[in-house]
Amino acid sequence: MDQIEHKFIKVQGLNLHIAEAGADAHVVVFLHGFPEIWYSWRHQMVGVATAGFRAIAPDCRGYGLSDPPAEPEKTSFQDMVDDLLAILDHLGLAKVFLVAKDFGALTAYMFAIQHQERVSGVITLGVPILPPGPIEFHKYLPEGFYISRWQEPGRAEADFGRLDAKTVVRNIYILFSRSEIPIAPENKEIMDLVSDSTPLPPWFTEEDLAAYGALYEKSGFRTALQVPYRTLRENFSTPEVIAVKVPALLIMGDKDYFLKFPGIEDYIRSGKAKDLVPNLEIIHLPEGSHFVQEQSPEEVNQLILTFLNKHV
């Protein structure tokens, strides 16, 4: 961790926080998901930097140490794509590898579709490129589906507001590390699904939780609820694309709850995702959870480095 440096750059009127490690060689940009920030890539940043790459991990606007937008409720995935382009331009980076997790995978593939000439390759963890069109998993799941609950204005705010930021992150990490989709019964909220006595996942320390808690204490959850969750409700559609032709890798934990989303496991295992990304390689980790990069950092680092070295 000592080799990771921090700075702020101003893009699109916001001061965005950037964590960096490694020499000015081939560049790898890490895009976090929720409830994460740059810190979720700590193991991978050190791993690729030690292997001779330059690692860059921004906090998305409104996350961690980055400024929130003036109107968080108007933030979109396109803003995240535009921020990424502005970061690359600010740093003078002509072409990079993208490594993304969770909703960061949507940003990465949108960027690769719009700016394919700036991308050397894409690695996503837990989420493949999704078929064009609206994302409507909620139509096939009960009312207590966590995304449906968090899309409802005010409901997550009230649920999270009963707890401090550190406890909210703790509960979400515990829920998302399980292999079942978080679904609350009618008379409970999502935070009620975790008791005070439930232990953290063994690979996630109290020190890690404290780091997340401090950063979400600063940023709050206002932008995070908008992107990804509420943006998905507001007529968001994954873009039309003939093919993303850059090299790509999907690292999929077989115990990731996202596999239980309607149609996702068949979409991945049948190879349909390769219709949109013909140069896609898919690697399954049998014990992998939603947080596979933190759960099994050495294994994931080796998969990432093998891909990077193959395509530099």
- Between CA 185 and CA 164 the distance in angstroms is 23
At 158, which amino acid appears? A
Which residues, 6 or more positions from 196, have their beta carbon under 8 angstroms from its beta carbon?
none
- Between CA 135 and CA 42 the distance in angstroms is 30
At 300, which amino acid appears? V
Query: Could you tell me the CA-to-CA distances from 268 to 23, 113, 212, 274, 275 in Å, in that order?
Result: 35, 20, 31, 9, 11
- Between CA 174 and CA 288 the distance in angstroms is 14
The active-site residue out of 59, 67, 102, 159 is 102
Q: Cβ distance 273 to 241 under 8 Å?
A: no
**Residue 287, Cβ density class (10 Å: 0-12 exposed, 13-18 middle, ≥19 buried):** exposed
End-to-end CA distance of the chain: 25
Catalytic site includes residue 290? yes
Residue 123: strand pairing partners: 99, 249
**Residue 246, Cβ density class (10 Å: 0-12 exposed, 13-18 middle, ≥19 buried):** buried
- Between CA 40 and CA 60 the distance in angstroms is 13
The active-site residue out of 63, 109, 229, 267 is 229
- Between CA 185 and CA 141 the distance in angstroms is 12
Which structure tokens are listed for 299?
Answer: 């294994």
Catalytic positions are: 102, 229, 290
